[in-house]
C-alpha cells in the first residue's frame, strides 16, 4: 500500500517521553498495540511508556503500528494515518532514531527551514546551511 506523505508539513519522530514538546504539531510515532477500544488505541511507545492514540485505525491492527497525527493537549495523538508495521520490529533502534531526530542530529531530519530550502531547490543555500552545522562525535552514537 502506497501512502502519499504531505511534505509541506513534515512529522517529527517522537516517543511518548518527548510528546509534550510537540503539542499542536504533526508527529509520527511507533507503538506496540496493547489494547484497541472504539476510537482509542493504547500502546507501548518505543521508550516503554504508555502512548494513547485517538482515531479509527484500519482493522485488523498488527502488533506494531506507526501513526501520524497531531499531538493533543492531553499528550495523546489524534491520528491521521495508521500504518501496520507487522508483528516484529526493533523498538530499541526506532527509539534511538527518535532521540537522534530530536537531539544532536536534528538538522538531518526535515524541519521547516531545511524543507523550505529543499522545496525551492536552492541547492547552494542548502549546502551552505548544511556545511555550517557541526558533525556529531561518532563515539556518542554507539549503543550503551
pLDDT in tens, 43-53: 999 999 999 99
Helices vs. strands in the chain: H and E counts, helices first? 3, 6
Mean per-residue pLDDT of the chain: 80
Q: What mean pLDDT do residues 2-30 have?
A: 82
Distance CA 34, CA 30 (A): 13
Q: Which residues contact 104 (CB under 8 A, 6 or more apart)?
A: 136, 140
Cα torsion angle, 86, 70, 110, 16, sign: negative
Distance CA 49, CA 25 (A): 20
- What confidence score (pLDDT) does residue 36 get? 93
pLDDT in tens, 89-143: 999 999 998 888 888 777 777 554 444 444 544 455 545 555 555 555 544 444 5
Label residues 44-63 b or e (16+ Cβ within 10 Å = b): bbbbeeebbbbbebeeeeee
- What is 12-92's CATH topology? OB fold (Dihydrolipoamide Acetyltransferase, E2P) (2.40.50)
Domain spans in the chain, listed from the N-terminal domain onward:
12-92, 107-134
Percent residues over pLDDT 70 in the chain: 69
Please give the model's pTM, rounded to 2 decimal places. Answer: 0.71
- What confidence score (pLDDT) does residue 95 get? 92
Pairing of strands 77-86, 50-54: parallel
- What confidence score (pLDDT) does residue 8 get? 61
Q: Is the pLDDT at 31 greater than 80, yes or no?
A: yes
- What confidence score (pLDDT) does residue 56 get? 92
Work out the pLDDT band at 144, boundaries 50, 70, 90: very low
pLDDT in tens, 66-81: 999 999 998 899 999 9
Amino acid at each position: 500500500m502506497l501512502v502519499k506523505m504531505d511534505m509541506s508539513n513534515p512529522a517529527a519522530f517522537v516517543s511518548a517521553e518527548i510528546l509534550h514538546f510537540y503539542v499542536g504539531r504533526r508527529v509520527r510515532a511507533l507503538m506496540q498495540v496493547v489494547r484497541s477500544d472504539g476510537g482509542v488505541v493504547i500502546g507501548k511507545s518505543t521508550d516503554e511508556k504508555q502512548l494513547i492514540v485517538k482515531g479509527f485505525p484500519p482493522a485488523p491492527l498488527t502488533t506494531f503500528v506507526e501513526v501520524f497525527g497531531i499531538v493533543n493537549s492531553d499528550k495523546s495523538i489524534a491520528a491521521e494515518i495508521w500504518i501496520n508495521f507487522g508483528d516484529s520490529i526493533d523498538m530499541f533502534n526506532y527509539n534511538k532514531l527518535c532521540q537522534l531526530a530530536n537531539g544532536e542530529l536534528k538538522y538531518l531530519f526535515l524541519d521547516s527551514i531545511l524543507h523550505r530550502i529543499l522545496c525551492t531547490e536552492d541547492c547552494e543555500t542548502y549546502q551552505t546551511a548544511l556545511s555550517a552545522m557541526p558533525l556529531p562525535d561518532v563515539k556518542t552514537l554507539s549503543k550503551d
